[in-house]
Amino acid sequence: MNIADYLSAVEQADTYKRYGKVLRVVGLMIESQGPAANIGEVCYIHSSESRSPILSEVVGFNNEKIILMPYSEVNEIGPGCLVESTGKPLSIKVGRGLIGNVVDSLGEKLDHSSLPKGLTRYLTDQSPPNPMERPPISEPIQVGVKAIDSLLTVGRGQRIGIFAGSGVGKSTLLGMIARNSDADINVIALIGERGREVREFIEKDLGPEGLKRSIVVVATSDQPALMRIKGAYTATAISEYFRDQGYSVNLMMDSVTRVAMAQREIGLATGEPPTTKGYTPSVFATLPKLLERTGTNKNGTITAFYTVLVDGDDMNEPIADTVRGILDGHFVMDRKLAERGQFPAINVLKSISRVMNGITAASHKQIAQEIRSLMAKYEENSELIHIGAYKRGTDQMIDRAISYQPKIQSFLKQDVHEVLSRTESIEQMTALLNGGMN
């Protein structure tokens, strides 16, 4: 043991603690005079009312004054409260012991019990992998949903957007994927969810079997905007940690729209100008950084499913449009199909998996294409068929589409607790065209 090294470290250590003080609070924003801190650093605000310090983060500067946002409510903060910088950005504890637990945006267990031992510190804000170090997506992953495994095959390491209005079955579909997928670990981020729905999702949609190999990160709609943003970052960081260990990870985020809304709140509070539909420029800068962090790297894969809540079922609203341009495919959930009693209500014709052609066998592609052609032909002529204006025998392709339509609809329906492997889904699809399904 070299004592000189220790003595040198003691001599160089800064023995003073430097504090700033709160000047004003406006809405979500806390302005303080000092301390010296960089954007993204975590600070403690010491209040005489609160026993434990209030965590906050530096989000901007104004004439050498620091702009902070708290991770909790600002009720106990008053003028003159001391502000202490930690000198570090937010980090969480992560490891295999976290599997099967429900945590908040700061990585703490939601039931207030202590975290298991043996976890390591990991920064929540990471850079996306270098494009040249990303292996191409080369193999399919089993999702356990017939319509997806057969007609919209997902690759291991692909990033998919699930687009839907409210109440069309996004959460139920995510629960099915979490239970039936052949990934090693699920990381599920519930961002901006109603508090009532969190336990419902964990107990009903996910179930005990799904929770055994999942980590759930929760940031409910009543929490401050910064906590909702950090929920997305924390879930992504947990996924990255397991990917770096060589695991195949499923990341499911519900929903990326609420992440964008939280970023808009922060942007407006720090003085950014509102642009398209009130969204600030930082929203459109943050989304690619967050979504590009998932996918493949040299160690493992993150297959990501991001739900996008489309206002008024408008698929071209700004967030839906931006997310669709970043991801490797999109599944559109159709309210009309849901009203018709089809679950999952995925509109196959409006959905696409951009890597399907590169990871499936030629015979699989051919059958899937044939079924899509039959569905498209029926859709084109549905009005004529329904009003009785089409006479059988006029067009051979339309006749074929009409005869196959009930079989295709029956094939696309799947009970919430029906478990099918990818092979079984493809066999059923093949049997459908060969007359094996009733």
Q: Are 287 and 229 in contact (CB under 8 A)?
A: no
Domain boundaries, the chain: 17-89, 92-357, 363-434
The DSSP secondary-structure symbol of 97 reads G
Q: Kindly state the average pLDDT of the residues 378-394.
A: 82
The DSSP secondary-structure symbol of 219 reads E
Which CATH architecture best describes the domain 17-89?
A: Beta Barrel (2.40)
| Residues paired with 41 in a beta bridge | 89
Q: Which phi and psi (to 5°) does residue 280 adopt?
A: -85, 160
Whose tokens are 């007359």? That residue is 435
CA distance 282 to 263: 7
pLDDT digits (tens, 9 = 90+) for 420-438: 999 999 999 999 887 655 4
User: For position 436, what pLDDT does the model report?
Assistant: 54
What's the fold here for domain 363-434? Substrate Binding Domain Of Dnak; Chain:A; Domain 2 (1.20.1270)
Reply yes or no: is the peptide bond before residue 344 cis, omega within 30 of 0. yes
What does CATH list as the number for 92-357?
3.40.50.12240
- 359-396 burial, b at 16+ Cβ within 10 Å, e below that, comes to bbeeebeebbeebeebbebbeebeeebeeeebeeeeee
pTM of the model: 0.91
**Does the pLDDT at position 313 exceed 70?**
no
pLDDT digits (tens, 9 = 90+) for 72-91: 887 778 888 899 988 889 99
Straight-line distance from the first to the last Cα atom of the chain, in angstroms, rounded to the nearest whole number: 79
pLDDT digits (tens, 9 = 90+) for 19-64: 899 998 887 889 999 888 888 899 999 887 767 888 999 988 888 8
Instruction: Please determine whether the domains at 17-89 and 92-357 fall in the same fold group of CATH.
Output: no
**DSSP string across 301-328:** EEEEEEEEE-GGG-TTSHHHHHHHHHSS
Q: Kindly state the average pLDDT of the residues 255-261.
A: 92
Q: Kindly state the average pLDDT of the residues 275-301.
A: 92
Measured CA to CA in angstroms, residue 312 lies from 166, 167, 192, 230 at distances of 9, 12, 18, 27
> What is the average pLDDT score of the chain?
89
Percentage of residues of the chain with pLDDT beyond 70: 98
Candidates 198, 168, 188, 305; CA nearest to 238 is 188
**And the tokens for 37?**
């801190």
